[in-house]
């Protein structure tokens, strides 16, 4: 039918489904992003080509076309409902891809082999054995990957915003708890009382945000600070709060807040007062009067699905509206897949502000990750403070980079 030829596309389908089944088990950083995208998109194209080709091959007599197309539409609608509504409610992890891969292999096997006339029973048996072995292999790889993913997980939960897991690990003074969002670490905390209040992950005192908060604390040692945080994680930044300070935290996912409060202790041990806003941060900031933050932390870009609406010119206008004239905007730009520094630099330049990059290589013994933060301030003199000596570096603008706004953004322009 058209370009579709079984002799070409069925072997490619077996290879493609095998690749899509195996790649997730390698982890998010095993392959360069362009190679991973190319493999997955090519395999998906082949799977679509086979499914549509087989559908076209069994198209009935014109008198039955109404029922035929109605069934196609019904199947599409049911698939959308399953992925969009049923799966987030019924599953505690992302099982849809695995189910889809196995069902694709199984359905194509049934359609192709049941309709094929074999010259001998032996050929029929070999064909069925080969096809079902492929189906079984795909199922085994995906089941094994999911079992490994859930091993040692204290909590696994899922909603419309993603999959969250809490793990315990390490022993003795190295005992720790970790919150994972998909395959991205959302936060990590020591589990021993002597160390559980130490800032970890991307938020150490050597990090950009840590230095910004320490600088503001020193600058206003006798006055309370008002700090805004977009993206709560497990609440690690609350370790910097003092009695009298107010931390206002924004997060769109209520499950993140629930796990941060019940599985970790940063909220319970916070000296500062806290206010939690469960909403899209940009929409919440647009509705609110100017908060007059001393520091506003925007930390929502470490994953593989970046909320672009928080990186546009209009979003930065909201951030600056809520800062005091001497306030600091700290944007977390650590990301395995995207170089977000040009995006933030373009926004800072657009508003006539000074941007500095603070990087830290991390320290595994202290559960501190490598981090990159861009700090933005109205006056470059702020970065002359001792907290930033030799670590806050000017950011060079990309001459060809176009500022993102609500009508334009390009992830391809910032792929690593």
CATH code of the domain containing 249? 3.40.50.150
Identify whether 165 is part of a domain: no
Q: How many domains does the chain have?
A: 2
Q: Under a CB-based contact definition with an 8 Å cutoff, are residues 98 and 147 in contact?
A: no
Identify whether 26 is part of a domain: yes
Identify whether 163 is part of a domain: no
How is 141-206 classified by DSSP, letter by letter? Answer: HHHHHHHHHHTTEEEEEEETTEEEEEEEE--GGG-EEEEEETTEEEEEEE-STTTTTS--BT-STT
- Which structural domain, as residue segments, surrounds residue 139? 6-150
Tokens of 72: 């196609």
Per residue in 45-89, pLDDT (tens digit) is 999 999 999 999 989 999 999 999 999 999 999 999 999 999 998
Identify whether 27 is part of a domain: yes
Edge-to-edge strand order for the sheet containing 162-169?
Answer: 153-159, 162-169, 176-181, 184-190
Q: Are residues 146 and 187 in the same domain?
A: no
CB atoms within 10 A of CB 146: 16
Tokens of 402: 């176009």
Identify whether 125 is part of a domain: yes
The residues that bridge with 348 in the sheet, in sequence order, are none
Q: Are residues 235 and 137 in the same domain?
A: no
Q: Are residues 109 and 249 in the same domain?
A: no
Q: Under a CB-based contact definition with an 8 Å cutoff, are residues 370 and 361 in contact?
A: yes
**Range 256-267 average pLDDT:** 97
- What rounded mean pLDDT belongs to the chain? 94
CA 71 – CA 68 distance, rounded (Å): 5
Determine which helix (DSSP H) or strand (DSSP E) holds 106, and give its type and residue range: helix 96-114
Identify whether 126 is part of a domain: yes
Per residue in 286-322, pLDDT (tens digit) is 999 999 999 999 999 877 678 999 999 999 999 999 9
> Would you say residue 205 has pLDDT above 90?
yes
Q: Are residues 131 and 187 in the same domain?
A: no
Per residue in 120-168, pLDDT (tens digit) is 999 999 999 999 999 999 999 999 999 988 888 999 999 999 899 999 9
Q: Under a CB-based contact definition with an 8 Å cutoff, are residues 416 and 341 in contact?
A: no
Q: Are residues 301 and 339 in the same domain?
A: yes
The pLDDT, as a whole number, for residue 28 is 64
Identify whether 66 is part of a domain: yes
Q: Are residues 122 and 205 in the same domain?
A: no
Percent of the chain with pLDDT over 70: 99
Identify whether 156 is part of a domain: no
């Amino acid at each position: 039918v058209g370009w579709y030829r079984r002799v070409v596309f069925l072997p490619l389908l077996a290879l493609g489904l095998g690749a899509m089944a195996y790649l997730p088990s390698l982890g998010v950083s095993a392959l360069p992003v362009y190679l991973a995208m190319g493999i997955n998109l090519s395999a998906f194209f082949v799977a679509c080509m086979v499914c549509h080709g087989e559908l076209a091959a069994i198209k009935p007599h014109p008198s039955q076309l109404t029922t035929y197309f109605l069934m196609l539409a019904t199947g599409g609608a049911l698939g959308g409902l399953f992925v969009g509504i049923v799966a987030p409610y019924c599953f505690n992890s992302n099982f849809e891809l695995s189910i889809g891969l196995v069902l694709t292999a199984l359905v194509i096997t049934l359609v192709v082999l049941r309709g094929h006339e074999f010259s001998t029973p032996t050929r029929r048996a070999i064909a069925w054995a080969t096809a079902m072995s492929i189906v079984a292999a795909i199922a085994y790889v995906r089941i094994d990957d999911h079992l490994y993913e859930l091993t040692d997980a204290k909590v696994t939960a899922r909603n419309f915003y993603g999959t969250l897991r809490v793990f315990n690990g390490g022993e003795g003074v190295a005992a720790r708890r970790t919150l994972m969002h998909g395959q991205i670490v959302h936060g990590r905390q020591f589990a021993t009382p002597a160390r559980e209040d130490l800032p970890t992950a991307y938020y150490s005192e050597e990090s950009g945000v840590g230095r910004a908060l320490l600088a503001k604390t020193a600058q206003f040692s006798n006055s309370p600070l008002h700090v805004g945080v977009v993206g709560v994680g497990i609440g690690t930044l609350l370790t910097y709060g003092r009695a009298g300070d107010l931390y206002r935290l924004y997060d769109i996912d209520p499950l993140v807040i629930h796990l941060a409060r019940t599985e970790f202790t940063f909220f319970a041990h916070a000296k500062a007062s806290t206010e939690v806003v469960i909403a899209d941060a940009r929409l919440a900031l647009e509705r609110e009067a100017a908060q007059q933050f001393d520091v506003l932390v925007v930390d929502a870009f470490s994953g593989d699905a970046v909320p672009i609406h928080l990186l546009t010119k209009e979003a930065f206008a909201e951030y600056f509206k809520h800062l005091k004239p001497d306030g600091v905007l700290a944007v977390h730009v650590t990301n395995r897949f995207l170089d977000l520094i040009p995006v933030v630099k373009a926004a800072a330049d657009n508003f006539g502000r000074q941007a500095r990059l603070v990087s830290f290589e991390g320290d595994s013994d202290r559960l501190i990750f490598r981090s990159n933060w861009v700090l933005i301030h109205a006056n470059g003199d702020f970065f002359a403070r001792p907290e930033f000596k030799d670590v806050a570096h000017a950011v060079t603008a990309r001459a060809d980079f176009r500022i993102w706004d609500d009508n334009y953004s390009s992830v391809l322009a910032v792929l690593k």
